[in-house]
Amino acid sequence: MDLSQKDWTKQLEEDNNSVVLDVRTQEEVDEGIIPEAIHVDIYKGQGFIYEIEKLDKSKNYYVYCRSGGRSAQACSIMNQLGFKNAYNLVGGFNEWQGDVAHKE
């Protein structure tokens, strides 16, 4: 499901069963990541599906990429794999106004 930046952020803040999922490349993640996000690169193809399958399907996933395209695709894949709640951040990290973490 697509959510605007405002709705995605608000819903995430109120959700105590949430996981933030970054599906960008490692190079993109090195430039900054939404705090607490887990990273699984969608370009890994079957490797992406393998990593996603290990996640807890009872959680709500807040998914983002750079601009919203790959994360929409990731949400679709997750729905097919049996994840009920995957929310796509429209506009992606490019339009993110919240906190940004940098990995050491």
CB-CB contact of 74 with 46 (8 Å): no
Q: 20, 37, 42, 65: which is the annotated catalytic residue? A: 65
User: Is residue 101 a contact partner of residue 15, using CB atoms and an 8 Å limit?
Assistant: no
- Is 65 a known active-site residue? yes
Q: Are 45 and 29 in contact (CB under 8 A)?
A: no
For the CA atoms of 73, 79, 85, 86, the dihedral, rounded to the nearest 10 degrees, stands at -10
Q: Mind telling me the catalytic residues?
A: 65
